[in-house]
Structure 1
């Protein structure tokens, strides 16, 4: 197994775990940390997409998802919760 293969499997596993945490709605902090995990997943899949053969589409998709996930990190970990 090559480093590029490991990027693919890490990206997939991290994405699944992060999605599970977000779906459980465990609160702001766990959701924020799930978005951090999504960010690492996107970075791994961007690298895999552009380093591996025939996976450029996944690389481009994850470039967009990286921005979306960074917004999630900001909203849940950096920004204060809006008053209710």
Structure 2
């Protein structure tokens, strides 16, 4: 009976956990993905123990330990970092200084037109070492789930960074005229046409 239940729980938990961690939706979701992975590895360990598959048992005992490290990293340390950054951003709303946005929060930030229409997402930001100024954003548009997506370098002066989105400071047509870049070969500087 236990082996049968474990035989169903183990693969289901493993598939769900893989989707949760692969989606990269933040520390909390990734951390809970490792919790579900742990359930799966315990299930696989049970299957290995009850069926006499010592390799399956040994592998999943090791994976259970790895998953516990993942839980600590993502639900413990990384979650605390993200909450600290969120607290600083919220406090900056009430401060006379400029609004703060955490650097790791750039990835996934929606790219919107001046009218608020979403046309893509920020992939990352490149920051100049002398002065810490954002030089340009790499933004992705089109495609489905990252497949067949086009990437462009958008000069920081051609956009306005907000709390919940990056707003184009140029027309969408002008943005679309920017040259595309390879996902693994970004420029040392954005193209001049990007400057508003």
TM-score normalised by the shorter chain: which range applies? Answer: 0.7 to 0.9
Query: Which structure's CA Rg is the greater one?
Result: 2
Q: Distance in 2 between matches of 1:20 and 1:78?
A: 20
How far residue 3 of structure 1 moved from its aligned partner, in angstroms, is 2.4
Q: Distance in 2 between matches of 1:22 and 1:14?
A: 12
Q: How does 1:46-65 map to 2 (within 5 A)?
A: 46-53=45-52, 55-65=53-63
Q: Deviation per CA, 1:32-57, whole angstroms, max 9, x where unpaired?
A: 0000001111111111111124x221
> SS at the partner of 1:81?
helix
How far residue 81 of structure 1 moved from its aligned partner, in angstroms, is 2.6
**Ranges of 4+ aligned residues in structure 1 off by more than 3 Å:** none
Which structure's residues are more often strand, by fraction?
Answer: 2
Partner of 2:91: none
TM-score by length of 1: 0.86
Whether 1:28 aligns to 2:21 is no
TM-score by length of 2: 0.39
Which structure's residues are more often helix, by fraction?
Answer: 1
Pairs aligned (count): 82
Partner of 1:17: 16
**Structure 1 residue runs without a partner (length 5+):** none
How far residue 13 of structure 1 moved from its aligned partner, in angstroms, is 0.8
